[in-house]
Structure 1
Amino acid sequence: MASNGDTRCAATSPGIKNTTSLSDETDRYLAAIAVFRTMTLTGKIQANKAGYLKITFADGGTENWFVTEPMMSDGGMIKQPGSLVKGDGIPKAKTCTA
């Protein structure tokens, strides 16, 4: 599984939707979990497959998170060291499609 999830489309909480690549690691972790949950619930990824998610944050920055325990509700997410690509820290609008 190697999928891309955008926090602006996968999250329901405004705080998580607006998480940027410059947010602290805890906020980025919570955003990765929200994307994982949404993508498994919508069938965009299979919940029983380990791998990684490439998370796109509200500022366009990205980060890879390994899904180590795909059957757990949080996916057992662990960030891939050195994978953070920083944006400018300013949330951008995005139109999300189903």
Structure 2
Amino acid sequence: MVSDTIKAIHKVELEADKIIADGKASELELIERTKSESSSKCEQEISQAKSESDERIKAAQQEAEEQRRESLKGLESELEELRQDAKRKEKNAIQKIIDAVVS
């Protein structure tokens, strides 16, 4: 009777040890899986952030290029006006010299 009780207790202890060992193994497996999933999710978020950043940079570059073109158009127009003004002044100066020589 005592022997049966001791055997039963020993059996329960072995089962408890197995349950604890299985629990630890499951815990380690869960930790590793969670690490892997976290790493994967982190990599995805980094990739997505990089992609969004690249898109924003590209859009900013395009906008800067458009602004540069618009500025150049304005400068070209201004330059043409200055050229025409210089030609008018040159013609006036030549005419004044001719008038002074003739008179």
Same fold (TM over 0.5): no
Question: Larger % of strand: which?
Answer: 1
- Bigger Cα Rg: 2
Q: Of the two structures, which has the highest relative contact order with CA contacts closer than 8 Å and spacing of 6 or more?
A: 1
Q: TM-score, normalised by structure 1?
A: 0.21
| TM superposition score normalised by structure 2 | 0.20
Structure with greater helix percent: 2
